């Protein structure tokens, strides 16, 4: 096994799911995940969402890099953060609010649970 891994979807069977209907606020978002690495509490890969809006509550820390699309994270106080192609963000434990996928969004992620 190589100690260097390319972050790409090639050759990885994706997991396709929808968020729990109880947290969906708009649309019918579909989430597709290409898991590349799982090592204890560390997870990484690529994730894509189609348009919709759902509630989020982060108990983990996440680094994201947006490849394409447009999403909006809104906290419980109404502060919006737009995530667009080329952006990189940290989402810290304790963030609560909504994730709205305005345009199908593809991101790299690294999660520390």
Supply the pLDDT for residue 5. Answer: 87
DSSP per-residue codes, 67-87: EEEEEEEEETT--EEEEETT-
Residue 47: which of 58, 35, 39 has the closest Cα? 35
Supply the pLDDT for residue 71. Answer: 98
Supply the pLDDT for residue 26. Answer: 98
What is the Cα–Cα distance from 49 to 98, expressed in whole angstroms? 14
Does the pLDDT of residue 2 top 90, yes or no? Answer: no
Q: Which domains does the chain have, with CATH numbers?
A: 31-112 (2.60.120.10)
For 7-17, the pLDDT digits (tens) are 999 999 999 99
Average pLDDT over residues 21-29: 98
Average pLDDT over residues 88-99: 98
Share the mean pLDDT of the chain: 97
């Amino acid at each position: 096994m190589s100690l260097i891994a390319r972050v790409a979807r090639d050759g990885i069977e994706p997991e396709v799911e929808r968020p729990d209907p109880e947290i969906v606020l708009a649309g019918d978002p579909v989430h597709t995940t290409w898991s590349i690495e799982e090592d204890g509490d560390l997870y990484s890969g690529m994730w894509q969402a189609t348009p919709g809006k759902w509630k989020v509550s982060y108990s983990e820390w996440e680094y994201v890099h947006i490849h394409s699309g447009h999403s909006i994270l809104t906290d419980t106080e109404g502060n919006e953060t737009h995530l667009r192609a080329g952006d990189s963000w940290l989402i810290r434990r304790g963030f609560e609010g909504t994730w709205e996928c305005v345009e199908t969004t593809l991101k790299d992620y690294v999660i520390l649970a």
